[in-house]
Structure 1
Amino acid sequence: MTTKSTASPGRWRVGSLAGHLTGRTGAEPATGGAGTVMSIDGVDLHVRADGPIGGPALLMLHGFGASTAWFDQVVDRLPECRITRVDLLGHGGSARPASGYDPESQGRLYARLLSELDLDGVTVVGHSMGSLFGVATAEHSTRVSRLVLMGEGPDTSTGTLPPGEWVIHRPRIGPVVQQHGPAFVTERVVRRAFAPGFDMAKAFANPNQGLDDARSLNHPAFTESIQRRKAWTDQLGLDARLDDLALPALVIFGREDRFYDVDASLARYRAVRTITTTVLEHVGHTPMIEAPDRIVELIREFLSPGEKL
């Protein structure tokens, strides 16, 4: 940033970037949205519910830097299901506290949500990081009967982060870069969540949805979510956790996923007897947006094998 010097007309003085720009490093309240803000154990979550109350119960958990809007196309195609969507802690219209972003804490939080809503026989549908929280929810709740995981490896050893992301995690410059960095940089990262050549005009009703969601996080939500997930999966990978749970699970990858080594991830998952795997060709990291019809078909088949819902 530059400011014009009044002492020397026509000359410019370079100001301190840190002095003029600040990142969001403190706790922030829930802002809500199209759904309802529910207080779960003192934590405010933005929750959306669609479909008939008596329909098959689904809990949808979006990925890092996203929101409930990333499931819009799938929800529209499953009118017979009772679908609960949550803006993850620190995302969208939910609260952004200074802590609590580890999968263990979030699993307990969403398990408590299922109890508050009195939902049983729930199929948890997670995308990317939401898949971790879905598994953690199942570890803390007997109300979960199945899991659908999309675009998430068993641990970070099979994944790659965008180049330069380490800068965001720096304590002083990170919050500034995250909130005030050039929009095209953030949009490039969002674009990486889709297969090369995918028409982004088809992704969201709001053309700025991806950018808005990515910038909705405060700095603790950004850094803690990434760091805590690694520690949790380093302790025990999703493949081992699913083996311990012994619940039916469907793992879906797009062949052109640019965040995970698809073959290495699938090799781990296929070793677990309760897991069914599917690979979608010409699809990237975000199958529910890139191939919503196919995802809905897979979910219906998974819920009632050999039947039509």
Structure 2
Amino acid sequence: MQRIFLIVIATILFGILLLIIIVPLLIDLKPADGEITAPAAAEVDSQFVRIPFPGTAGINFHIHSTSAPSGDANAFVLLHGFTFNVFTWDALFPFFAAQGQVIAYDQIPYGLSDKLLPGDWTDANPYSKAAAIKQLFALMDQSGIEQAILVGNSAGGTLALEAALTHPERIKALILIDPWIYAQRPTLPQFLVETPQLRRISLFLARHLGGEKLPLLERSYADPERITPERRTLAAIHSRLANWDVAWAALLNHSLMDKVTVSAHLGEIKQPVLIIAGSEDRLVPVEDSARAARAFSNAEFAVLPDCGHVPHEECPDLTKAVIAHWLRALPQRAVHHN
């Protein structure tokens, strides 16, 4: 009887293993078709800038920006979250523009920025964490911004922190909106990430996350009924371009090798920090944002009632009021670099 039981268990495990190996290979690798070019899909205020990046012919970024005003005004760089794009800042962009120079951009491969595919680069992977930091500073350089206040939502907050740790002299302050700091994702060895099965699973996830239902947009609101049809259209603008799904998969696949370690270095951040959390955030617990605020040496923390993971979209007036109050006292908080 025991032998039969062991044979049955071994058969079941073997069947599961076969499913794990075979089922991902059934995922269709044909890239998504595109109905339009990025410039044709762009809004009136959109611009495209090309920055050099090693191993590529250059990368085209879709941006919204204002020129530097006269006087000693602040400069802001707005960093969207995972699967989002530049349009997440529409409600707050005029507010920041009234305070100084602003640049918001689609991080690759999101929105209308380039959809680089494996084979489009011969050097470092442009979807790595280190590459994202280089691209941020390259865009600042191209816009003539020597020092900026970084405004990051979710994974954009992680990027803002990584940038501040890399070149602290170029970051005046940080505004982190429901930042992704303590949440962990699985990390895997390169040999496993590069298997055909895992590449196809990444493609499946990319199509799910960026498809018609936009599950992360839904989950980012305390009340999804507040998402307007226009907002849904802009959140899905990437899907009008060819190859978006394969490009998203390339990013997702590589991210499995990039550990999120910024939480161990929060005490090294000396710049003034404002952390804003939506009380109904279902993606980053409010407790995580409060914990991060305590870890900084120069931070303020605000919780916005009845708001989710993207209060700058869902509760823009409350978000603007908190930021405006904080900015008024920023000169007294600022860190001066030699």
Determine the structure 2 residue equivalent to 1:154: 181
Counting aligned pairs with the same residue, the percent is 19
SS state at 1:123 partner: strand
Name the CA shift for 1:265/1:170 in 2 (closer, same or farther; >3 Å).
same
**Offset of residue 218 of structure 1:** 3.3
**Offset of residue 21 of structure 1:** 4.6
Determine the structure 1 residue equivalent to 2:62: 46
In structure 1, stretches of 5+ residues that fail to align are: 1-16, 161-168
List 4+ stretches of structure 1 deviating above 4 A.
17-21, 180-184, 213-217
* Residue pair 1:37, 1:94 contacting (<8 A) in 2 also: no
Determine the structure 2 residue equivalent to 1:10: none
* Cα distance in 2 for residues equivalent to 1:182 and 1:138: 29
* Cα distance in 1 for residues equivalent to 2:316 and 2:149: 17
Alignment of 1:168-247 (within 5 A): 170-172=198-200, 174-176=202-204, 178-179=206-207, 186-196=213-223, 198-201=225-228, 205-213=230-238, 217-222=244-249, 224-225=251-252, 228=255, 231-233=258-260, 236-238=261-263, 240-247=264-271
The TM-score normalised by the length of structure 2 is 0.69
Alignment of 1:133-152 (within 5 A): 133-141=159-167, 142-152=169-179
1:36 partner letter:
F
Determine the structure 1 residue equivalent to 2:31: 24
In structure 2, stretches of 5+ residues that fail to align are: 1-23, 119-124, 187-196, 332-338
Aligned-residue Cα RMSD (Å) equals: 3.4
**Offset of residue 244 of structure 1:** 1.1
* Residue pair 1:146, 1:247 contacting (<8 A) in 2 also: yes
2:304 partner letter:
L
Alignment of 1:1-309 (within 5 A): 21-24=28-31, 31-32=38-39, 33=42, 34-41=46-53, 42-50=58-66, 52-54=68-70, 55-80=73-98, 81-97=100-116, 98=118, 99-141=125-167, 142-157=169-184, 170-172=198-200, 174-176=202-204, 178-179=206-207, 186-196=213-223, 198-201=225-228, 205-213=230-238, 217-222=244-249, 224-225=251-252, 228=255, 231-233=258-260, 236-238=261-263, 240-305=264-329
Name whichever of 56-65 and 173-182 sits farther off. 173-182
SS state at 1:172 partner: helix
**Offset of residue 224 of structure 1:** 3.1
Q: Radius of gyration: which is bigger? A: 2
Name whichever of 100-109 and 174-183 sits farther off. 174-183
1:190 partner letter:
L
